Chains A and B, each alone.
Chain A
Amino acid sequence: MSTEATTPKPVELVNVQIDGVWHQFPKGTRVIEACSQAGKFIPRYCYHPKLTSPGNCRMCMVELGMPKMTPDRKPELGPDGKPLHNWIPRPQISCAQDVSEGLGVRTDSSMVQEARKGVLEFLLINHPLDCPICDQAGECRLQEFSYDYGQAKTRFLDEKVKKPKRVEIGPRVTLDDERCILCTRCVRFMREVAKDDVIGIVDRGSYSSISCHPGKTLDSNYSLNTVDICPVGALTSTDFRFKMRVWFLKETKSICTSCATGCNTVISARENIVYRQTPRENNDVNQAWMCDYGRLNFHYLHSPERLLSPVVRGHEQPDWKNAIATAAAELKAVAPEQIAVIASGKMTNEELYLTAQLAKALGVKLHDIVPHTDTGDDILLSTDRNPNTAGAKLLGVSASTPGANLSAVVEGIRSGAIKALIVLGEDATLAGLTSADLTKLTVLVTTAILPNATTAAATHLLPSAAFAEKRGSMINKNGRLQRLNRAIQPPGLARDDWEILVGLTEAVTESSLGFNAIEDVVKAMTAATPALAGLSLSKIGDLGVQLPLPANE
């Protein structure tokens, strides 16, 4: 991308007239972007700022004018001292044209309006009347621009061309060729970003259609991005298919917690049910993309197995105060050197800070997080599947190499030197322990959202909140501090992790920490952590803040 030049060259600005008003733009800006920045949105289908411009949809046409020149190649000036224009007598596409000195643009002249209307009429000739059953309805560019620039009636008398519908083009993507307007955004995405060039256009004329290479499927881990960029309902997500109309969805800006990249996302939920996750543009993290693995990794939020109530020694204890008090009392009865803490790299910074406070209150020295790694790729997916390893290191919960202290915990439990274990949002059996080892413990306090081997052996089970159910911050692998937001409420009696940790710490120390809201925790954490000094959840903002930290990978 030319705009991301690393050398700090002085930006050359050019003067451009858009609808009679003169603006200045850096050289190399596309006309369509310049118009958007000037507040004149140009309708487009094939153009996407992160992809190349083939200029094939013809929707973004504008009138362009070159500065009028005198015979000695000087611009001819009007009475206002600005150049006059020679308007090109036919409309031009604005997506493949860079701004130049003295350029004139008319975005809404009668010629432009006529051109848009004509283009839309052509696009709608073979388009089916699928809107009531189409998942794109409500966020469909064809619908939107038809309202804005189209006409209500069709002049087309012939039968529409039939094309394949409901095609499983990949394991996660459903294709409807009749709805396709052949903008080739998906083709370009797979070629340029996902580097898996499996889809293209086959056949000719009005029979042209999107298809997969014979013998291949659209099974890239980035395939669902084609669904996002498809301006119509041709490519739809099989997972989201017919689940919910988009106009019901409440959108919450958050981040993906499936790996250390921390892609910016939008969580779409209705009435406490998350229906989908989509990427949100952040040029410092994930551009406008995210991987399918992270995107679909939310269904466990609504698992029927979710833990809903605290359990103390096999008995449900719906009274949180009681559950926390007994857990704290039993922990205090154990000597500090006989206690260990296994935390998680999936916890937010605030929770990790409180974990450190709890460990301090109990006098525990032995604590670590469980590292999770898996194969990554060189696009977005990181090998580190803990979203907040950097935060765990920064706040001192993790060993300098995550997982280095775990062998000491395992040995301690096996030899009987460790009698009490606190497991936060993790499964201790993934840290090298067996279920039999866990039964040796006299106290096993755990927070969890889903049952696992640790919760089965826990003496005190405290159900907590999942990533879409809480607020907080995390630090990604490049040291960028980002914010999680609450999209839905935790189910049943499950509580926010920070409340559980504050409750435990207060019960252990028998004094109040004075934390009434997550903001209070953030305030205490940033005051105690030099790297986070002066920051708050609102200062992190939607796009996050780059911390001066050494990169994690």
Chain B
Amino acid sequence: MAYQVPRPKLTFAEKIYLPSVIAGLKITLGHLWRMLRGKTHVCMQYPEEKWDSHLPPHYRGAPTLVSDEFGRTRCVACQLCEFICPPRAIRIKPGEIPAENKFAKVEKFPEEFQIDMIRCIYCGLCEEVCPEQAIFLKKEYAITGTSRAAMMHQKEKLIEMGGIQPGVVNKWNEKK
């Protein structure tokens, strides 16, 4: 059944419309007046000025690979992030750590690890799913490049961006 929207009853002032126009102009002219006196700051002058100091601690920027205090990249190439990634931006090629390496106990490491930053949607699921706390979304948000290849963050770049992040679990010690 058709529903008739009841029309509001308008007063005479509302019907002639002019008072609303004047009220609107008052606001506009008020802004103009404040601006002329240099009291309004509407725009941030990016990139001279940046948001960085205002970013909340949970801000999700570019995903990176972090290393522990012993210099080991935490990633063990379990490929869960590759599995969970909604836009399928992550590609990992697992490899085996040779037996004579000092981190041989971990056995597995990512031979190749690439994140396609054209695809990445900064959802943070990779960070959430990681059982090794190896992947973190840092605050870097200005990811640019002049080619597709430059937008493919390879392992070295990801490790460099991630840096060292101590203080999280260390389960690959001898007492594991």
B-binding residues in A (CB < 8 A): 128-129, 131-133, 137, 159-160, 165-166, 241-245, 247-248
Contacts and interface: CB of A to CB of B under 8 A. Distances in A.
Contacts of A129: 171, 176
A547 B101 CA distance: 57
A166 B94 contact: no
A386 B78 CA distance: 39
Contacts, number: 43
Contacts of B141: none
B76 interface: yes
B83 A247 contact: yes
Contacts of B80: 132
A248 B88 CA distance: 12
Which of A133, A160, A241 gathers the greatest number of chain B CB atoms within 10 Å?
A133
Interface in B77-109: 77-80, 82-83, 94-96, 99, 104-108
B78 A132 contact: yes
Contacts of A128: 176
Given A133-B106, A133-B107, A245 B78 contact: yes
Nearest to B131: A132
Given A131-B78, A242-B95, 13 more contacts: A129-B171, A132-B76, A132-B78, A132-B108, A133-B76, A133-B106, A133-B108, A159-B175, A241-B96, A242-B96, A247-B83, A248-B79, A248-B82
Contacts of B108: 132-133, 242
Contacts of A159: 175
B30 to A, nearest CB: 60
B99 A131 contact: no
23 contacts: A129-B176, A132-B76, A132-B80, A132-B131, A132-B132, A133-B77, A133-B78, A133-B106, A133-B107, A159-B175, A165-B107, A166-B99, A166-B104, A166-B107, A241-B96, A242-B77, A242-B95, A242-B107, A244-B79, A244-B94, A247-B83, A248-B79, A248-B82
A128 B173 CA distance: 12
Interface string B110-148: 000000000000000000000110000000000000000
Interface string B53-78: 00000000000000000000000111
Interface of A, helix, strand, loop or mixed by DSSP: loop
Which of A129, A165, A242 gathers the greatest number of chain B CB atoms within 10 Å?
A242
Nearest to A159: B175
A125 to B, nearest CB: 14
**What class of interface size applies to chain B in its complex with A?**
20 to 34
A204 to B, nearest CB: 23
Which of B78, B80, B107, B132 gathers the greatest number of chain A CB atoms within 10 Å?
B107
A132 B76 CA distance: 7
Which of B108, B132, B175 gathers the greatest number of chain A CB atoms within 10 Å?
B108
Nearest to A137: B78
A126 to B, nearest CB: 11
Contact of B94 (A131, A160, A165, A242): A242
A256 B109 CA distance: 33
A137 B83 CA distance: 13
A159 B175 CA distance: 7
B109 to A, nearest CB: 9
Nearest to B111: A242
Contact of A245 (B79, B131, B176): B79
A159 B80 CA distance: 28
B83 A131 contact: no
Question: Which 10 A-B pairs give the minimum distances between C-beta atoms?
Answer: A132-B78, A133-B108, A242-B94, A245-B79, A132-B131, A133-B76, A132-B76, A133-B107, A242-B96, A242-B108
A553 to B, nearest CB: 42
Nearest to A131: B131
A128 B80 CA distance: 19
A15 to B, nearest CB: 47
Interface string B149-176: 0000000000000000000000100011
A248 B131 CA distance: 18
Contacts of B131: 131-132
A473 B19 CA distance: 86
Nearest to B95: A242
A245 B132 contact: no
B16 to A, nearest CB: 70
A245 B129 CA distance: 15
Contact of B83 (A160, A242, A248): A248
Contacts of B79: 244-245, 248
Nearest to A176: B107
A133 B94 CA distance: 10
A159 B176 CA distance: 8
Contacts of B96: 241-242
A159 to B, nearest CB: 6
A165 B104 CA distance: 11
B99 A245 contact: no
Contacts of A244: 79, 94
A165 B97 CA distance: 13
A55 to B, nearest CB: 31
A537 B99 CA distance: 49
B3 to A, nearest CB: 51
A117 B77 CA distance: 31
A247 B176 CA distance: 26
B35 to A, nearest CB: 57
A159 B173 CA distance: 12
